[in-house]
Amino acid sequence: MLPELLAPAGGMAQLRAALRFGADAVYGGLPRFGLRAFAGNFTWEELEDALRLTHGLGKKFYLTLNILPYQDEMEALVDAARHARKLGVDAALVSDLGAFLALRRAVPELKLHISTQANTLNAEAALFYYAHGAERIVLARELSLKRIADLRRALPDGLQLESFVHGAMCMSYSGRCMLSDHLTGRGGNRGACAQPCRWEYALVEKKRPGEYWPIEEDARGTYLLSAYDLNMLSHLPDLAAAGVGSLKIEGRMKTEYYVATVVGAYRRALDALAVSREAYDALLPELEGEVRKASHRAFNTGFYYGPPAPMAGAAGFTQDMEYVARVEDARDGRALLHLKNRFYVGDILELLCPAGAFPFRVESITLADTGEQRDTVSVAGQRVWIPLPHPAAAGDFLRGPNRNHQG
């Protein structure tokens, strides 16, 4: 049986992309109580719409309630969980032990998943949560595949294991970090991390104030604390063999295009693996190229095969292609686009849809509101028609060469 493919949904646009491109389940948050305070998140009305859409496709929605709450927030958190369950969320993620126990008592019918922030590394901790009603453990990111396999054998079949497979990693222990609090007053465990680990640092010696020495990493600068991005696309058989039942993609602050690109690649990989290991292996080179077409830092495999070398030192983002437009409608060999970035007549673009990516040449551009022909368009949000030689549908994307590509 294939693992569940779990995708981030920072808002409604990302939710639609995740569902269209093959996620089995999504996770998203409210304006409060989750660890992504600056994501779009979902109002109660939007959450109701999201659940209707998700369940209509036979898929699941998990709500993030994994903030570390103060005592004066507990009642409101419980009330939010109670209302979310009434609306129909399939489970809630929690990281705080007190919040977990409070929700078990107050909303016993709400399934609970233990967040990676709880740093679950061993069977005793996992069994404690299971004995008190947890359905799933999101494993600490510091576990190797061998340790995950050992843990799986020590646990009952009824306790599910989930693990991160792709996206940004934190330099601290499963995300428990105080650096942002100290430097900016924005708490990472309160959903407001300023990501100071991504900043560039230098050394200063006590007796030489004002004299700074960079610690050389590469030509782009010094990023000693900036973790590499995780990429386990080429190792899905190992994850499944270790007993991971849900593969989690990070990225609730990412765009709909990012979600579509990465989720689509993992969906196609899992579907190929369901056919045969040979089919999966044959498709991997194409799919590894796919995930590099979305924004990312340098990749590694985290702790899965032992301590990563290096864990930190990743510079800024790069991507091989950029998000050009979203398809709003397609008929009679034409597509109506909602523009994101400039493109020109004559450009070679790609249509990204759940089946894959299909290159084509832009033959013409017609403004949707006036019918005027243009050689280029550049205003984000503009709507235009173009001829499209490949079948497309609303929710597909166009992308083109990244004109600012760094490497």
- The Cα 6–Cα 253 span in angstroms is 15
In a domain, 283, yes or no: yes
In DSSP terms, 386 is beta-bridged to: 335
> β-strand 246-249 against 160-167: which pairing, if any?
parallel
Contact 90, 28 (CB under 8 A): no
Give the confidence band of 406 by pLDDT, cuts at 50, 70, 90.
very low
Asked if residue 294 and residue 343 are part of one domain, the reply reads no
For residue 171, pLDDT beyond 80: no
Both structure tokens of 115 = 């967040």
Give the confidence band of 212 by pLDDT, cuts at 50, 70, 90.
low
* 3-class secondary structure, 272: helix
For residue 132, pLDDT beyond 50: yes
Mean pLDDT in residue range 89-98:
96
In a domain, 316, yes or no: no
pLDDT for the residue numbered 219:
47
Mean pLDDT in residue range 167-185:
61
In a domain, 136, yes or no: yes
pLDDT for the residue numbered 54:
98
pLDDT digits (tens, 9 = 90+) for 341-354: 999 999 999 999 99
For residue 215, pLDDT beyond 60: no
Both structure tokens of 92 = 């809630």
- Top-confidence residue, 130 or 209: 130
pLDDT digits (tens, 9 = 90+) for 182-198: 556 555 554 556 566 65
pLDDT digits (tens, 9 = 90+) for 264-323: 999 999 999 999 999 999 999 999 999 999 988 888 898 999 887 655 555 566 888 999
Amino acid at 211: E
CATH code, domain carrying 33: 3.20.20.380
Asked if residue 331 and residue 294 are part of one domain, the reply reads no
Asked if residue 144 and residue 259 are part of one domain, the reply reads yes
Contact 387, 364 (CB under 8 A): yes
- The Cα 367–Cα 317 span in angstroms is 33
Asked if residue 355 and residue 289 are part of one domain, the reply reads no
pLDDT for the residue numbered 314:
54
3-state secondary structure 328-370: EEEECCEEEEEECCCEECCCEEEEEECCEEEEEECCCEEECCC
In a domain, 407, yes or no: no
| DSSP per-residue letters across 56-86 | HTT-EEEEE--S---GGGHHHHHHHHHHHHH
For residue 42, pLDDT beyond 70: yes
- The Cα 296–Cα 317 span in angstroms is 5
The conformational region for residue 387 under phi > 0 = left, psi -120 to 50 = alpha, else beta, is: beta
pLDDT for the residue numbered 393:
97
For residue 230, pLDDT beyond 50: yes
Asked if residue 327 and residue 287 are part of one domain, the reply reads no
- Determine if the pTM surpasses 0.75: yes
Domain boundary among 252, 269, 300: 300
Contact 86, 92 (CB under 8 A): no
Asked if residue 153 and residue 12 are part of one domain, the reply reads yes
Mean pLDDT in residue range 35-56:
86
Asked if residue 275 and residue 344 are part of one domain, the reply reads no
pLDDT for the residue numbered 235:
98
Domain extent at residue 38: 4-173+226-300
CATH code, domain carrying 372: 2.40.30.10
E strands, 227-347, are: 229-231, 246-249, 299-300, 321-331, 334-339, 343-344
In a domain, 123, yes or no: yes
Both structure tokens of 325 = 């437009």
CB-CB neighbours of 108 under 10 Å:
10
pLDDT for the residue numbered 256:
96
In a domain, 133, yes or no: yes
Asked if residue 325 and residue 296 are part of one domain, the reply reads no
> β-strand 348-353 against 60-64: which pairing, if any?
unpaired
CB-CB neighbours of 383 under 10 Å:
16
Asked if residue 154 and residue 19 are part of one domain, the reply reads yes
Give the confidence band of 7 by pLDDT, cuts at 50, 70, 90.
very high
Asked if residue 255 and residue 168 are part of one domain, the reply reads yes
Asked if residue 292 and residue 325 are part of one domain, the reply reads no
Give the confidence band of 405 by pLDDT, cuts at 50, 70, 90.
very low
In a domain, 157, yes or no: yes
Give percent of the chain above pLDDT 70.
82
